[in-house]
Amino acid sequence: METTRLYIRPILETDFPDIFRLQSDPDVMRHIRPATDDPEVVRIRMAEWMNYSQKQPGLGVFILEWKENRSFVGYVVARHVAFDPTTEEYEVGYTIAPEYWGRGLASEVTPALCDYLFQWKQPEYIVAFTAFENSASQNVLLKSGFTETGTRNIYEGGSKEFRIYRRV
């Protein structure tokens, strides 16, 4: 997959330093989960992500690279909700490196992820979740065509739920 400015590729073990940098940064993680300074936690998490992708080809965590120089921009998800294939619900999400904040990349990549899932898996709808106070991500989702549908206790502390429906 790609967008105007980004390449979107599967995650690799060699992405660990970049993933750890983001997951250990409290500012990056403040709306997702507590940041961790334990590399082993991130290694285990990445192994779980890669295992999921092996069992669910074409789904999982993907790396964003800047087209101009292939630099790491962040990572995105196009997966079953909470990595649980029994849900039959698909979720998109993103984590962008701070040096790329404010460039509209979340608004660029979110529709691309939705198009990918709608074309490939053809679900009725796709969900996305935000922390209650994360108005920036809520605006990205609304701008991308999502509608707020309520709350759900998928992640610790609960989340606002957004859905976008497949156009028929």
CATH T-level fold of 6-165: Aminopeptidase (3.40.630)
Tell the residue number behind the tokens 């040096």, with chain if given: 99
Domain ranges of the chain: 6-165
Q: Which two tokens stand for residue 155?
A: 């992640």
- Strands annotated E in the chain: 6-10, 60-66, 72-80, 90-96, 125-130, 147-152, 159-165
Distance in angstroms (rounded) separating the CA atoms of residues 11 and 70: 14
What is the chain's percent helix, strand, coil content, to nearest 5? Answer: 40, 30, 30
Output the tens digit of pLDDT for each of the chain's 168 residues.
999 999 999 999 999 999 999 999 999 999 989 999 999 999 999 999 999 999 999 999 999 999 999 999 999 999 999 999 998 899 999 999 999 999 999 999 999 999 999 999 999 999 999 999 999 999 999 999 999 999 998 777 789 999 999 987
